[in-house]
Amino acid sequence: MSARHSLRLATLAASLLFAVGVHADTVLLNASYDVARDLYKDFNPAFQKAWQAKTGEKVEIKQSHGGSSKQVRAVADGLEADVVTMNQATDVDFLADKGLVAKDYHKKFPTNASPYTSTMVFIVRKGNPKAIKDWSDLIKSGVQVIVPHPKNTGNGRYTYLAAWGYALKQPGGNDKSAQDFVGKLLKNAPLFGTGGRDATTTFMQRRLGDVLVTFESEAELIAKEFGRGDFEVVYPSVSILTEFPVAVVDKVVDKKGTRKQAQAYLEYLWSKEGQEIIAENYLRPRDAEVLKKHAAQFPAIKTFTVDETFGGWGKAFKAHFVDGGSFDQIYSVK
Amino acid sequence: MSRSPSRSVLPGFGLSLGYTLVYLSLLVLIPLAGLLVKSASLSLADIWAIATGPRALASFRVTFGASFAAACINAFFGLIVAWVLVRYDFWGKRFIDALVDLPFALPTAVAGITLATLYAETGVIGEWFAKAGVKIAYTPLGIVVALTFIGLPFVVRTLQPVLEDIEPEVEEAAASLGASRWQTFRRVLFPAIFPALLTGFTLAFSRAVGEYGSVIFIAGNMPLISEITPLLIISKLEQYDFVGATALASVMLVISFVMLLAINVLQWWASNRHRSGTAKAAPQGGAQ
C-alpha cells in the first residue's frame, strides 16, 4: 500500500531529522531554583562557546527550574541532574545526606561553593512615605510588611534570619530579644506570600503594604516589570549575606560519564565571563574586579553570614524552621 | 440497590465487578494504601501529636469549615443556575452554559492569582467591600471565595440532567391540585432533586478540602488564622519531613472519608425515602 509506504518514509524522515537536531556530544541537566531562569539563559550559551573552543566538544545544557526543595526532592527521587544550583545550603545538604553529592561539597569549589551572593533589602513606595531606613522601622505600628512565608520559602527564611541577626547585634541583644523583635515584625505582616514573586506581585501590583523585604536582585526585576518611578530600594544598616551553593551530583555524573563537563560547567561560573554575566543579572559577583566594575549597582552594605551568626544552615534550620522551632513558638504564644 | 445481583437481568456481574475492583485498586486504593504505609512508621501517638498540634487543628478548622461553607453556597446558587439553564430559553444560554465549566479548565494557580487581584483591597471587587469594612483577600473569607469558585461546576452539572428529567407537567399537575408555588417546590421538585443536589454538594466539598493551588494565593497563609491543611503538608515537605507530611495527609484522608461516607449514607437514605412512596412494593428477589 502506498499509504503504508509513505508512513514509513515519514517515520524515516522524522527520525533522521531528530538525529540531526540532537547533535550534542554531551547533555547536562542543571536542576535549579525558580528565579535562576534568566541567569542560566545567559550563562549556558557562554559556557557552551567556551567549552567548544577549548575541547571541540558540543555540550547541550537542559534546565529544570522549580521551588528549590521540590527540585532536590526530584533529584533524590531519581531526576538525573548532573549539577544542582540552589539558593539555600539546606537543599544541597539534603542531597549530601542522601549520598548523592559529596559531604564536603562546599569545599569542592571556591568561595564556599557559592559563585555569587545577594542580600536582603527593602523595597518601599516612591518617596519613602513611612521613612523606613532600617529593620527597627519595620516593627513600628502602622507599618505593613510584605514577606513570603518565613517557614516554607527560601526568601522568607532569609528575611527571618536577617531580622533575627539584626536584633542579636543590637546592644544587649540575645535570642529572647531577637524572638520578640521578629515576632513584632511578623505581626506587621498582613499576609505571607507563597513565594518571592507572589510577595512582589502583592506589593507592586495589588499595592498592599508599605515595605517589601526581598533579595537585592529582585529590585532590578521589579524595575523592569513595573517601571522605575514607582518604588525605592532601601539598604538597612546590616543584612544577611545570602549564598547560592552549587554542586556536582556524583551519582549521576558517574553513571552518565559526564563528570568532566559538569565540573567545568560549574567552574565556569567563577570565570571572568561567568562573573560578568552574574553581575549583569544583579547578583553580587565574588570576583573583586567584576564587583568593582559594577559598584554603582551594588552599594556597600554590612552583612553577616548564616555560618557566622547561626552556626550554619543546619543549626539555623533546627532552631527556627522545624515544627516547634522559634517560628512556631511565635505563633503559639498568642 | 435492593436487588440481589444473582437475579439481575443484566449478565456479566462477576466480570464487571472484578474489573471495577481492579481499576479502583490501581487508581485509588493502592496509592492511598501507600500513603498509609508510609505514615505507619510513626506510632499512633506520634500521629496524634502531629494532628492535634495547634496549627494543625486550626488548619483543619479552616480547611473543612471553608470547604463546607463553599459547598453550601454552591449548593444554593448552583441549584439556581442549573434551574435557569434547564428551564428557560434565553439569548446567550449556550455561552453561559459553557462558562460554568470554566473553573474546571482553568489552572488553579491562575484562578488563585486572578481572584486575589480582584478581591484585594485595591482590586476591582475588593475595594467595594473594603469601603464597607470587609476584607476578603488574605482572610478566611478569601479562602471561601476561592473554594466556591472551583466547586461551582460540580453542583450545576450534577443537577442539570435530573432537572431535565422532571417534566413541567408534574408542576402543572401539582398546581391543578391546588399546591402553591412553594409547596410544589418543597413537596414535588425538591425531593426529586435532593439526592443529586447532595451528590453535587459532596463533590464540591471533597474537591475543596484537597484544593491547594487556587487557595494559597488568596489565603494570606497566616498561622492559626488562614493556613489550610494542604499548606501545612507542603510546609512539612519543605522541612524534608516526609513522614510527618504523609501522617498529616493520612489524617486528612480519614476525616474526608468518614465525612463522605456519612454523606453517602444520608444520600442513600434520602433517595430510599423518596422512592419508598412510589416503589415500596417492589418484589424482593433472591434466596437469602
Nearest to A275 by CA among A266, A267, A285, A265: A285
Closest alpha carbon within chain B to A88 = B238
Closest alpha carbon within chain A to B212 = A194
User: For residue range B184-204, what is the model confidence (pLDDT) as tens digits?
Assistant: 888 888 988 998 999 999 999
Alpha helices in B88-139 (DSSP H): 93-100, 102-105, 108-119, 126-131
Amino acid at A74: A
CATH of the domain at B162: 1.10.3720.10
B122/A206 touch (CB, cutoff 8 Å), yes or no = yes
Quote the Cα angle for B248-B254-B255, to 5°: 90
Query: Given this model, what pLDDT does residue A134 score?
Result: 97
Domain total of chain B: 1
Number of neighbours of residue B185 by Cβ within 10 angstroms: 14
What are the sequence ranges of the domains in chain A? 26-114+245-269, 118-242+301-332
* Contact (CB, 8 A) for A106 and A89: yes
Q: Per the domain annotation, does B25 fall within a domain?
A: no
* Contact (CB, 8 A) for B200 and B154: yes
Residue-level length of chain A: 334
Q: Per the domain annotation, does B89 fall within a domain?
A: yes
Closest partner residue to A191 (CB to CB) among B53, B117, B221 is: B221
User: For residue range A244-268, what is the model confidence (pLDDT) as tens digits?
Assistant: 999 999 999 999 999 999 999 999 9
Residue A165 has pLDDT above 70, yes or no: yes
Q: What residues pair up with A69 in beta bridges, in sequence order?
A: none
User: For residue range B73-120, what is the model confidence (pLDDT) as tens digits?
Assistant: 999 999 999 999 998 999 989 999 999 999 989 999 999 999 999 999
Give the confidence band of A66 by pLDDT, cuts at 50, 70, 90.
Answer: confident
Angle between helix B54-87 and B229-238 (nearest 10): 130
Rounded CA separation A283/A290 (Å):
11
Least confident of A191-200, B6-15, B185-194: B6-15
pLDDT (average), residues B17-44:
86
Q: What residues pair up with A123 in beta bridges, in sequence order?
A: A212, A233
Rounded CA separation A212/A217 (Å):
13
* Contact (CB, 8 A) for A238 and A169: yes
pTM for the model stands at 0.85
Least confident of A27-31, A149-153, A183-187, A275-279: A149-153
Rounded CA separation A162/A308 (Å):
12
Least confident of A120-129, B205-214, B238-247: B238-247
Give the confidence band of A22 by pLDDT, cuts at 50, 70, 90.
Answer: very low
User: Distances in Å between the alpha carbon of A93 and those of A105, A206, B41, B57, B81?
Assistant: 9, 37, 24, 31, 54
Rounded CA separation A161/A92 (Å):
19
Query: Given this model, what pLDDT does residue A80 score?
Result: 95
| φ, ψ of residue A99 in degrees (nearest 5) | 80, 15
Q: What residues pair up with A215 in beta bridges, in sequence order?
A: A120
| Residue B279: exposure state from Cβ atoms within 10 A (0-12, 13-18, ≥19) | exposed
Range of the domain at B112: 39-275
End-to-end CA distance of chain A: 79
Residues A181-190 as b or e (16 or more Cβ within 10 Å = b): bbbbbbebbb
Q: What residues have CB less than 8 Å from A163, skipping those under 6 apart?
A: A135, A138, A181, A182, A185
**How is residue A298 annotated by DSSP?**
S
Closest alpha carbon within chain A to B217 = A194
- B224: closest CA of chain A, how far (Å): 7
Q: What percent of chain A has pLDDT over 90?
A: 79
More confidently predicted of A258 and B14: A258
A191/B231 touch (CB, cutoff 8 Å), yes or no = no
Closest partner residue to B122 (CB to CB) among A189, A191, A208 is: A208
Nearest to A157 by CA among A332, A300, A272, A325: A325
B138/A191 touch (CB, cutoff 8 Å), yes or no = yes
Rounded CA separation A192/B116 (Å):
13
> Mean of the per-residue pLDDT values for chain B?
87
* Contact (CB, 8 A) for A286 and A111: yes
User: Distances in Å between the alpha carbon of A55 and those of A51, A59, A60, A264?
Assistant: 6, 10, 14, 11
* Contact (CB, 8 A) for B178 and B165: no
Give the confidence band of A10 by pLDDT, cuts at 50, 70, 90.
Answer: low
Give the confidence band of A55 by pLDDT, cuts at 50, 70, 90.
Answer: very high
User: For residue range B230-282, what is the model confidence (pLDDT) as tens digits?
Assistant: 999 998 988 888 888 988 998 998 888 898 898 888 888 877 876 665 544 44
Give the confidence band of B44 by pLDDT, cuts at 50, 70, 90.
Answer: confident
A152/B240 touch (CB, cutoff 8 Å), yes or no = no
Least confident of A4-13, A75-84, B11-20: A4-13
* Contact (CB, 8 A) for B103 and B150: yes
Rounded CA separation A172/B197 (Å):
64
Q: Per the domain annotation, does B19 fall within a domain?
A: no
A328/B220 touch (CB, cutoff 8 Å), yes or no = no
Same fold, A26-114+245-269 and A118-242+301-332: yes
Give the confidence band of B46 by pLDDT, cuts at 50, 70, 90.
Answer: confident
Nearest to A186 by CA among A149, A236, A219: A149
- B117: closest CA of chain A, how far (Å): 6
Angle between helix A154-168 and A175-187 (nearest 10): 130
Nearest to B201 by CA among B162, B166, B252, B151: B151
Query: Given this model, what pLDDT does residue A17 score?
Result: 47
**How is residue B7 annotated by DSSP?**
G
B122/A207 touch (CB, cutoff 8 Å), yes or no = yes
Write the DSSP assignment of B229-276 as a string of letters: HHHHHHHHHHTT-HHHHHHHHHHHHHHHHHHHHHHHHHHHHHHHHHHH
Residue B139 has pLDDT above 70, yes or no: yes
Closest alpha carbon within chain A to B244 = A323
pLDDT (average), residues A75-102:
94
- A193: closest CA of chain B, how far (Å): 7
B222/A334 touch (CB, cutoff 8 Å), yes or no = no
Place of cell 551519582: A251
Number of neighbours of residue B90 by Cβ within 10 angstroms: 8
Q: What residues pair up with A117 in beta bridges, in sequence order?
A: A243, A284
More confidently predicted of B266 and B152: B152
Q: What residues have CB less than 8 Å from A89, skipping those under 6 apart?
A: A106, A243, A245, A306, A312, A313
Query: Given this model, what pLDDT does residue A30 score?
Result: 97
Quote the Cα angle for A268-A295-A247, to 5°: 25
Place of cell 476561592: B146
Q: What percent of chain B has pLDDT over 90?
A: 48
CATH architecture of A118-242+301-332: 3-Layer(aba) Sandwich (3.40)
Q: Per the domain annotation, does B255 fall within a domain?
A: yes
* Contact (CB, 8 A) for A332 and A268: no
Query: Given this model, what pLDDT does residue B242 score?
Result: 85
Residue B3 has pLDDT above 60, yes or no: no
Residue A172 has pLDDT above 50, yes or no: yes
CATH of A26-114+245-269 given 3.30.565.10, 3.40.50.300, 3.40.190.10, 3.30.70.260: 3.40.190.10
Q: Per the domain annotation, does B7 fall within a domain?
A: no
Number of neighbours of residue B264 by Cβ within 10 angstroms: 13
Query: Given this model, what pLDDT does residue A21 score?
Result: 46
| φ, ψ of residue B41 in degrees (nearest 5) | -70, -10
Tell me, yes or no, if B215 comes closer than 8 A to chain A by beta carbon.
no
Closest partner residue to A331 (CB to CB) among B55, B231, B235 is: B55
- For chain B, the C-alpha Rg in angstroms (whole number) is 23
Q: What percent of chain B has pLDDT over 70?
A: 92
Rounded CA separation A295/B204 (Å):
56
Nearest to B263 by CA among B216, B178, B188, B200: B200
Q: What residues have CB less than 8 Å from B82, skipping those under 6 apart?
A: B155, B156, B159, B160, B163
A152/B238 touch (CB, cutoff 8 Å), yes or no = yes
- Which runs of E-coded beta strand occur in chain B? none
Residues of B within 8 A of A332 (CB-CB) are 54-55
Give the confidence band of A197 by pLDDT, cuts at 50, 70, 90.
Answer: confident
| Residue B141: exposure state from Cβ atoms within 10 A (0-12, 13-18, ≥19) | middle
More confidently predicted of A116 and B34: A116
Which three-class secondary structure state does DSSP give residue B220? coil
User: For residue range B114-137, what is the model confidence (pLDDT) as tens digits?
Assistant: 999 999 998 999 999 999 999 999
Nearest to A266 by CA among A57, A103, A73, A113: A113
B217/A194 touch (CB, cutoff 8 Å), yes or no = yes
Query: Given this model, what pLDDT does residue B283 score?
Result: 42
Tell me, yes or no, if B114 comes closer than 8 A to chain A by beta carbon.
no
Q: What residues have CB less than 8 Å from B37, skipping those under 6 apart?
A: none
pLDDT (average), residues A202-230:
91
